[in-house]
Amino acid sequence: MISWSVIDTWIIIVGVLSAVGCALPGAYLLLRRQSMMGDAISHSVLPGIAGAYLIMGNREPLTLFLGAIVIGIVTTVLIRLVKHGGKIEDGAAMGVVFTALFALGLVMIRRAADHVDLDPDCVLYGAIELTFLDTVPFLGMDVPRAALLTGGMLLANVLFLGLLYKELKLSSFDPGLSDALGYSSRFLHHLLMVAIAATMVASFEAVGSILVIAMLIVPPACAYLLCNRLLPMLLVSAGFAAASAVLGHLSAIALPPVLGYEDTSTAGMMALAAGVLFGGVFFLSPKSGVLAQSWRRVRLGAQLLSEEVLGVLYRRQEAPGVSARPVLAPEELRRGAQGRTVEWLAGRRLVRQGYVRPVPGGFELTEPGLHEARRLIRAHRLWETWLVEEMNLRPDHVHGPASRLESVTGEAMEEELARETGAPAMDPHARRIPPAEKH
């Protein structure tokens, strides 16, 4: 049974505030295809933090913010210079800059640790379990300083993203149009980087750089797989970030005794919870999930196979000397299928639509199936004629393209094809084109 105290409540509050504060600007990084920029800034702000400590000798939030903002801007400028000056791609430019600055930051942190109260592990892994020890009076109660700091940063991010919602949206999707309308995409980019650098500094002491990077990237990635619009994506990102913080702390309490460990890092478990949630969305998302995409491929394969079956039966029926309707054996259906599932779905689809009926030895066309097969064959042969006459393709090269196009040919397009090709009676292979049916 999980024992709960007010300390656990404050840990979750700080984790949620920090996670949501990171996820909101992180969504814009994802849309700009610059998610790793958050990783770069999170590493490169370390020299800014250490420099602020060494120069000012204190841990005041304003001092840290100024140091992080300066180094955040320097990072984005250096990445741009390396990218354009060295003519290398974005990932390599980020790697060069953030590894160099990260190494410099670690050296400076080690140097700063000898002069002020600065623990390198705290910057990397955070100390969210100890945030309740550092409290300040607020509205008549003692509140962890980390909660006020991360909550204030979350409020600042909400105001920043709300005030510049349209401008950031425009510059994220179409920087050229944004510049043309007078909204400098480069200036907005630097503003976003400043907000991200400040958010990271506000969260470093409480949750560490690992959780900050995870919350910048993973919740927006989950939302991206589920949403098609920006505002819902921002809200869903915030929801996943909050859920990751809650589930992570619950896991940090419940899992170690089960696995035989004394304890574990709450910030690390929050990042792990975010990864687990992303894994679930990655497989189960109805829009872009692996299972949904696999099912759509199977359904498409079944549709194409069922149309191929109708075409085969029609061609057999129009062969010279055939009086009875031909039968397609099950093994012939299996040879055309891409697996047993596709075969089963194709057969079930044809029977359910009433296009074929089971008979001894296989399937045969019904009257509705004959009409549908005639329509498909007409579209197929009109496309072959059009591809030969208009695109100058060789007759032996048009069967594949025509097979794909016949599936998306509606009545209006069929009439247009007939008009452009002169409604021929025969296709390029000297096969009769079925006439259009009168309704």
- DSSP code, position 365: E
Neighbouring CB atoms inside 10 A of 15's CB total 32
pLDDT digits (tens, 9 = 90+) for 274-327: 999 999 999 988 878 888 888 888 888 888 888 888 888 888 888 776 656 777
The position carrying tokens 């452009």 is 420
Q: What domains can you pick out in the chain, each with its CATH number? A: 6-285 (1.10.3470.10), 293-365 (1.10.10), 370-421 (1.10.60)
Per-residue pLDDT, 58: 65
Confidence at residue 156, expressed as pLDDT on a 0 to 100 scale: 92
3-state DSSP helix/strand/coil % of the chain, to nearest 5: 75, 5, 20
Task: Please list the ranges in the chain whose pLDDT falls under 70.
Answer: 1-2, 57-61, 86-87, 109-126, 205, 263, 321-324, 332-338, 438-439
Give the pLDDT of residue 162. 93
- pLDDT value for 125: 64
**What residue spans of 337-407 are helical by DSSP H?**
340-352, 367-391, 399-406
Would the CA dihedral through 409, 414, 418, 419 be positive or negative? negative
Are the C-beta atoms of 209 and 200 separated by less than 8 Å?
A: yes
What is the predicted pLDDT for the residue at 288?
Answer: 81
| Cα dihedral 106→112→118→122 (10° resolution) | 0
Residue partners of 408: CB distance under 8 A and separation at least 6: none
Phi, psi of 429 (to 5 degrees): -100, 15
Q: Which of 141, 134, 195, 142 lies closest to 168, judged by CA?
A: 195
Residue 141 pairs in a beta bridge with 138
Distances in Å between the Cα of 342 and the Cα atoms of 133, 329, 439 are: 61, 16, 33
Phi and psi at residue 138, to the nearest 5°: -155, 120
Phi, psi (5° rounding) for residue 160?
-60, -50
Q: In the structure encoding, which two tokens stand for residue 61, read together? A: 């939030």
Contacts 24+ apart (CB under 8 A), 388-396: 388/428, 389/421, 390/420, 395/428, 395/429
3-state secondary structure of 76: helix
Q: What is the pLDDT of residue 287?
A: 78
Q: Given this model, what pLDDT does residue 281 score?
A: 93
* pLDDT confidence of residue 207: 77
Answer whether 402's CB lies under 8 Å from 385's CB.
no
The SS3 of residue 74 is helix
- Beta strands per DSSP E along 215-355: 327-328
Question: What does the pLDDT look like over 42-96, one tens digit per residue?
Answer: 777 777 777 777 777 666 667 777 777 787 778 778 877 887 776 677 777 777 8
What is the Cα–Cα distance from 72 to 76, expressed in whole angstroms? Answer: 6
Q: What's residue 265's pLDDT?
A: 77
Predicted model pTM: 0.78
pLDDT number for residue 360: 83
Instruction: Return the amino acid letter for 350.
Output: L
Q: CB count, 10 Å around CB of 42? A: 29
Task: Indicate the pairing of strand 141-144 with strand 327-328.
Answer: unpaired
Phi, psi values for residue 17, rounded to 5°? -60, -45
Report the chain's C-alpha Rg in angstroms: 32
Q: Are 55 and 115 in contact (CB under 8 A)?
A: no
Residue 302: predicted pLDDT: 85
How far, in Å, CA of 132 to CA of 331, rounded?
70
Distance separating alpha carbons of residues 188 and 178, to the nearest angstrom: 10
Backbone angles phi, psi at 422, to 5 degrees: 80, 20
